[in-house]
Amino acid sequence: MKSIIVGITGASGSVYGQRLLASLNASHEVSRIDLVFSQAGVRVVGEELGLNVAGSDRRVVREMLGEDSEKVTVHPTNDIGASIASGSYLSDAMVIIPCSMGTLGAIANGVSRDLVHRAADVTIKEGRLLLLVPRETPLNVIHLENMLKLARLGVRILPAMPGFYHHPKTIDDLIEHFIHRLLDHLGVSHEQLTRWEGSKKSGRAGERESERAGE
């Protein structure tokens, strides 16, 4: 049974955070979810999803999931005494989804201005898995250098870049496929029918495709 921390910050793409939260809540392999929004994250969730997630009560859980869940605990972003602010609080991983460049920069430089930053700092110092899902374009040199610094520390950077090899028909298909990829990295099983199993082309045409892919 896994314990996962989910941070949602002020980058566009709040739906990714909402869908990941729903998937973790539905999983029998996840027993506990600690949820924290940055101040900007609260605003963007309101603007993109039309949800009011200010506060730390059960109402916030119902807003995000459409139902209550005893698995999910919501922490105020300014609560430096929260459980997830301490390395002695055991968790398996943390995901920041979406991750703003301001949040990414703060984490890369060891600056803890809110509970999202502090929980990420704790995750790194305790040697636990930290996944960041940046959603920004174009990327400037500062963004790229911060990502490189974190990647060298073992942080996994998974930009919200959709794949198309599974032939998505809707935006929802793109979102769900990306969430499944995140679940793979978290070691949470799921019913994913769109895994790549190799090209279905055969004969010389398939060999030429393979040769081009290897160039």
Which domain CATH number covers 66?
3.40.50.1950
Residue 81: phi and psi, rounded to 5, are: -95, 10
Between 185 and 163, name the one with better pLDDT.
185
What does pLDDT average to over the chain?
Answer: 92
Q: Which helix or strand (DSSP H or E) is residue 131 part of?
A: strand 129-134
Burial class (CB in 10 A: 0-12, 13-18, 19+), 11: buried
Q: Which structural domain, as residue segments, surrounds residue 60? A: 2-214
Residue 94: phi and psi, rounded to 5, are: -130, 140
**Tokens of residue 9, six digits:** 């910050």
- Report d(CA 15, CA 13) in Å as an integer: 5
- Report d(CA 2, CA 198) in Å as an integer: 31
DSSP 83: G
Beta strands in 48-92 (DSSP E): 72-75
Cα distances from 184 to residues 91, 177, 214, in angstroms, run 17, 11, 25
pLDDT grade, residue 165 (50/70/90)? confident
**Tokens of residue 145, six digits:** 């250098």
Predicted confidence (pLDDT) at residue 190 exceeds the cutoff of 60: yes
The count of structural domains within the chain is 1
Predicted confidence (pLDDT) at residue 204 exceeds the cutoff of 60: no
Say what the pLDDT of residue 210 is: 53
Cα distances from 81 to residues 25, 27, 58, 78, 187, in angstroms, run 25, 28, 19, 9, 29
Predicted confidence (pLDDT) at residue 192 exceeds the cutoff of 80: no
